[in-house]
Amino acid sequence: MGDVVSSHLDESKREMITARTGDVMREFGDIYEQQYAVALFNSVRFEIEGGGGPQSQLLHRKDPLAGRCIFSGNLFQYLEENRKWRNRYVFVAHSYTISLYESKTAHDRGLHPKSTINCAGYKALTSMEEYMDLINTSLPGVKAKVSSSPFVKYATQFPLILWHPYARHHYFCVMTEKEQKKWHAVLQDCVRHTNNGLSEECRVQTPAFTDAVRLHRQAKGHFGTWDMMCGAPPQILTNLVMETLHPELRNLIGPRLKGKMQQRQRNWMLISDAVYRQVLAQTTGQHNALVQACEAERPRLDAALRTDMDQMITSKEHVSSKIRALVLPKAEQVLRGSVQPYLSSILEALMEPTSRGFSEVRDVFFREMVEISKNSLNGGGKDKLGEHMERISMLAFHPVKMQSCYEKVEQLNLEGLQQRFDVSSPSVFVHRAQILMREQMDNAVYTFEQLLHQSLESQGEDDLCKTIQRCQDRVVKKYDYDSSTVRKKFFREALLQIIIPYMLKQLSPCYSSELPRFKELIFEDFSRFLLVENIFEEVVLQSVTKDIMMAVKEAAVQRRHNLYRDSIVLTNSDPNLHLLGENPSVDWAAKFGGDEPEPEGSVGMRIEGGGSGRRRRQVVSMIQLDGLPLPYESCLEVPGVELIPEEDGEVSEVKRVSRVEEEEEEELGSYEAPNSPDSVEEIRHLINPVVEVPVSEKENQTSLTNGTEPGSGTITLEDGVQEEVTLITTVVEGSPKKSPRDKVSPQEIVQRLVGNRKQEADKDRQEEAAIKEIEDEEDERERIATESDAERLKDSSPHDDSGFQSPTNEGLDEGEPQPITNGLKGEDKMVDPAEVEVVLEQGDETLHSDSETGENFGEKMAQYASDVPCEI
């Protein structure tokens, strides 16, 4: 592996890469120094003049992920060093950096991770078809079939791949499809966060850097959007260098690669990763030096700006009017002929999926509020409220729960418009819309937390459901207005990102030679802050802004887009909410739950600056596969294919996967619905529970039968008290009368119980039949109570083999195990196999069928017929 890289990247090629990177950084550095002064001028002017747009109605959380991590769990990673799969413990911190450890124990001990992955510029894939399509573009003329893996043989059918156009690729796999979906959501969230761009809080460095990158690419003839504008500044600069260096090296080294097709692709990827790391190391150092030099000049520049700001603004307006008079006629012509006819199409392509995504955010938030209201109605109490509020507080950062919202926006398609307006990929707009959706969800959740906390402190817990409902309605209303404002702003920015580069591409060749003469109109002292190129772009921007605003305004009046007027909140319009915005986030677990034990799946990282003993809580619980052999927890090879459960695999594996899925649903925060019975068995046990006494097969054959056998005796309960038994109803598995041909093997019965889910489809019918059955039982008890003991003993047969079954069994397949019915005088009571129903005596009185008269016995039976026996 190392020989391949060193043989193709000799010293001369490495020196060439270093020189090429230095040239790009020098060109970028000159532009950055100019744009730094312009950005400082704009920042100081904004600070002096003030300004701002619509204000949010929802509250903003300052540090949402304080004391949190995103995710942790185990998956299998492919190691290119030895071409084997290893089990790895994956930890995703609040910075969305993926750390891979040898085991969870290694992480808990604070050891260094085996490797870390910054997902900026990556794509998360779940199929080899997608991966092969991207791989085939890496080397021209080298095409691989979809069915042939380039150099990775997956041990499972659930792959996870992180693909990058220049850097190293990462290969993972999991055991089930459900795991794959959850891990894919987590990886996509990591990519989405790191691709979000630079922080807007840096009002000077961020605009200076982005404008410098854009102007550098425009000088090379690239005017459109750039999908590799992601990650930290050194990563963006590395992508800027690789944009031109990578094709050149590919044409130089590609023909010299030897071996089979898969080997050539693998070798080229190793070479590309080595070049990327070399360039990244160089750009990191030079960018840091550039920023430090500009920051050292900032105090002097800031003083000059504040002294002559009025004169600078006047001079800029004068130059702008001159350039506007020159450029506007041509700009209007391009705008009318090539832009306006497509404005509605672009806007429609943006609005439909984006509006669906924000609507889904509203629905997800509403559903979570309904779950909290349900639990309050069912008497959940403080502990349950604190538990649910602790879960919902991180709803916006839960990649699995937010996945349905993100998927709506991923349908955004600009096909047909991309080539005309030089849009490289819609992913730039998709990621931005998803980030805005996450912010709006977090604002809604945070506002609800603050309002509910205020209401609980002032009103207490009386009528909690109404309090939750009032807070929910208030937050949803504010969300509607805020999401409308955010969407309209997003549409305007997206249209500018699409149209302005196109306009500049059309106008720059016409006026580039005439712009230098306008420099004479700017004083030399102001020339560092007022650049003619920036003023020219502002003039073009102003010529397009009016049409874009009108297009968005016309679309806003259409009811189907659910757009409202912009949110404007004055400080005195909602004073209570305004004051709540200064409060920190509510710690629901500490307020209502007390000192609770740490939940399973949390990680061993302590909160910096937090209280002793507290650990960093996870947004998403860890996915664990109970049933994997313990040795695979350490750094060993991936289990063989025979250990991977398939749909038609062994029953034991299916049981394990089913159990794991249920645990994952619970761990990933799927809130439990109110405790209502979901089946006939649960309804019956709630109304008429039974006492279970195990009976052996041999005893059943000799003495007990499917029916009611009168007699007396005693039974010892768990607390040691002996109770007398008057009636024993026995049901033994396998006792229903069936012909030999209807008998099935135990293995088939287990498979049907595990795999066959036809009974779930009959759930509603079973519940209705169960309710009817309960009513019949009550009527039967009343009738029994009126009969005498002699008549009851005469009419009831100890061997009731009538074979009568409950109506709830209608519609079931003949070959499936059927519930057994037995009871007194046709009383239809369903009992599970191998279960014994014992009617115990209540109170201090005793009941002896052999010593009392028939009349007394009947009265006793009427008295205890309605008593509910206990279940053990």
Q: Three-class SS string for 647-674?
A: CCCCHHHHHHHHHHHHHHHHHCCCCCCC
Cα(402)–Cα(288) distance, integer angstroms: 36
Q: What's residue 9's pLDDT? A: 86
Q: How far is CA 381 from the centre of its chain?
A: 28
Q: Summarize pLDDT for 517-542 with one digit per residue, the tens.
A: 999 989 888 999 999 999 999 999 99
Structure tokens at 663: 């645990």
Tokens 């006047």, residue located: 314
DSSP 401-431: TTHHHHHHHTT---TTTTTTTTB--THHHHH
Cα(726)–Cα(35) distance, integer angstroms: 95
Residue scoring higher pLDDT (806 or 462):
462
Distances (CA, A) of 399 to 68, 455, 668, 720, 742: 14, 30, 10, 52, 49
Least confident among 25-39, 221-235, 739-753: 739-753
pLDDT band at 820 (very low <50, low <70, confident <90, very high): very low
Determine the average pLDDT of the residues in 39-60.
84
Report which DSSP code applies to 175: S
pLDDT band at 580 (very low <50, low <70, confident <90, very high): low
Write b or e for each residue in 304-342: b if 16 or more Cβ atoms lie within 10 A of its Cβ, otherwise e.
Answer: bbeeebeebeebbeebbeebbebbeebbeebbeeebeeb
Q: Summarize pLDDT for 107-124 with one digit per residue, the tens.
A: 999 999 999 999 999 999
Q: What's residue 840's pLDDT? A: 46
Structure tokens at 28: 């970028």
Structure tokens at 387: 């538990």
pLDDT band at 576 (very low <50, low <70, confident <90, very high): low
Among 702, 708, 698, 736, which residue's Cα sits nearest to residue 833? 736
Write b or e for each residue in 75-106: b if 16 or more Cβ atoms lie within 10 A of its Cβ, otherwise e.
Answer: bbbbebeeeebbbbbbbbbbebbbbbbbbbeb
Exposure of 743 by Cβ count < 10 A (0-12 exposed, 13-18 middle, 19+ buried)? exposed
Residue scoring higher pLDDT (741 or 491):
491
Q: What's residue 836's pLDDT? A: 43
Helix and strand numbers (H, E) in the chain are: 25, 14
pLDDT band at 140 (very low <50, low <70, confident <90, very high): low
Determine the average pLDDT of the residues in 737-754.
49
Among 263, 254, 247, which residue's Cα sits nearest to residue 144? 263
Q: Is the dihedral of CA 568, 571, 574, 576 positive or negative?
A: positive
Cα(33)–Cα(29) distance, integer angstroms: 6
Determine the average pLDDT of the residues in 17-42.
95
The amino acid present at 574, given as its one-letter code, is: D
Give yes or no for a contact between 121 and 236, defined as CB atoms under 8 angstroms apart.
no
Q: Summarize pLDDT for 189-211 with one digit per residue, the tens.
A: 999 999 887 888 888 999 999 99
Interior angle at CA 706, CA 702 and CA 707, nearest 5: 110
Q: Which residues contact 855 (CB under 8 A, 6 or more apart)?
A: 788, 789
Cα(575)–Cα(75) distance, integer angstroms: 50
pLDDT at 777 over 90: no
Write b or e for each residue in 521-548: b if 16 or more Cβ atoms lie within 10 A of its Cβ, otherwise e.
Answer: ebeeebebbbbbbbbbbebbeebbeebb
Residue scoring higher pLDDT (848 or 213):
213
Q: Which residues contact 628 (CB under 8 A, 6 or more apart)?
A: 175, 639
Cα(790)–Cα(658) distance, integer angstroms: 52
Q: Summarize pLDDT for 453-511 with one digit per residue, the tens.
A: 888 887 766 677 888 888 899 999 999 989 989 999 999 999 999 999 999 999 998 88
Query: What pairing do the DSSP bridges indicate for beta strands 617-618 and 68-69?
Result: parallel
pLDDT at 217 over 50: yes
Determine the average pLDDT of the residues in 87-101.
93
Give yes or no for a contact between 544 and 503, defined as CB atoms under 8 angstroms apart.
yes
Q: What's residue 300's pLDDT? A: 93
Dihedral of the alpha carbons of 74, 80, 82, 83, in degrees to the nearest 10? 80
Determine the average pLDDT of the residues in 546-571.
72
| pTM listed for this prediction | 0.69
Give yes or no for a contact between 154 and 146, defined as CB atoms under 8 angstroms apart.
no
Q: How far is CA 75 from the centre of its chain?
A: 18
Q: How far is CA 340 from the centre of its chain?
A: 38
Give yes or no for a contact between 224 and 107, defined as CB atoms under 8 angstroms apart.
no
pLDDT at 228 over 80: yes
Rounded to the nearest integer, the mean pLDDT of the chain is 74
Give backbone dihedrals phi and psi of 586, rounded to 5 degrees, phi first.
-80, 130
Among 485, 501, 507, 497, which residue's Cα sits nearest to residue 323? 507
Q: Which DSSP helix (H) or strand (E) runs through 170?
A: strand 170-173
What is the gyration radius of the CA atoms in the chain, in angstroms?
Answer: 36
Exposure of 438 by Cβ count < 10 A (0-12 exposed, 13-18 middle, 19+ buried)? buried
pLDDT at 72 over 80: yes
DSSP 804-869: ---GGGTT--TTSPPPEEE-STT--EEE-TTEEEEEE--SS----TTTS-HHHHHHHHHHHTTPPP
Domains of the chain in sequence order:
1-49+198-229+232-307 (no CATH), 70-195+598-676 (2.30.29.30), 680-864 (no CATH)
Determine the average pLDDT of the residues in 775-780.
64
Q: What's residue 153's pLDDT? A: 83
pLDDT band at 374 (very low <50, low <70, confident <90, very high): confident
Please give the sequence-ordered ranges of beta strands (E in DSSP) within 39-151, or none if there are none: 68-69, 71-79, 84-92, 98-101, 115-117, 123-125
Q: What's residue 76's pLDDT? A: 94
Of the ranges 72-76, 568-572, 724-728, 824-828, the best mean pLDDT one: 72-76
pLDDT at 675 over 50: no
CB atoms within 10 A of CB 247: 11
Cα(130)–Cα(127) distance, integer angstroms: 6
Q: Which residues contact 314 (CB under 8 A, 6 or more apart)?
A: none
Report the DSSP beta bridge partners of residue 78: 85
CB atoms within 10 A of CB 482: 25
Structure tokens at 627: 């049933």
pLDDT at 7 over 50: yes
pLDDT at 738 over 50: no
Q: How far is CA 260 from the centre of its chain?
A: 40
